[in-house]
């Protein structure tokens, strides 16, 4: 088993599970992001960014100042997980033609 695929799978599943628990057991997630469209998009495409935004959101001022650094860190982590999965898939695709030629 390729460690890149395993790591990519864990990184893609873990923040989504945390977001589900945050929505069920905390009111902060519902207060920080109103509506239904943006939370669903965040859950599907940018889970670390969404989670970071919810964690640093303040009821009085929202997200401001140095808290944006944490949100940007979540965005970079999301981009990193997508890059890792793409890299792992690229390695898998490159090894496939060699296996086909041998048979």
Mean pLDDT of the chain: 84
**CB-based burial label for 93 (10 Å; 0-12, 13-18, 19+):** exposed
Q: How confident is the model at residue 96 (pLDDT cuts 50, 70, 90)?
A: low
Q: Which residue has the tokens 């792992």?
A: 88
Average pLDDT over residues 58-66: 91
Q: Report the alpha-carbon distance of residue 77 to residue 72 in Å, rounded.
A: 9
Q: What is the mean pLDDT of the segment spanning 78-95?
A: 75
Region label for 64, one of left (φ > 0), alpha (ψ between -120 and 50) or beta (otherwise): beta
- pLDDT tens per residue across span 63-81: 999 999 999 999 999 998 8
Q: Residue 54: its pLDDT value, please?
A: 94
Task: Check residues 73 and 3 and name the one with the higher pLDDT.
Answer: 73
pLDDT grade for 58, boundaries at 50, 70 and 90: very high
* Res. 41 pLDDT band, cuts 50 70 90: very high
> What tokens does 29 get?
């997630």
């Amino acid at each position: 088993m390729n460690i890149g695929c395993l790591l990519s799978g864990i990184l893609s599943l873990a923040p989504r599970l945390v977001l589900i628990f945050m929505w069920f057991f905390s009111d902060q997630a519902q207060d920080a992001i109103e509506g239904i469209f943006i939370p669903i998009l965040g859950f599907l495409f940018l889970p670390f960014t969404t989670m970071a935004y919810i964690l640093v959101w303040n009821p009085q001022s929202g997200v401001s100042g140095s808290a944006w650094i944490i949100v940007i860190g979540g965005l970079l982590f999301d981009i990193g997980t997508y890059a890792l999965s793409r890299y792992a898939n690229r390695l898998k695709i490159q090894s496939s033609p060699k296996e086909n030629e041998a048979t």
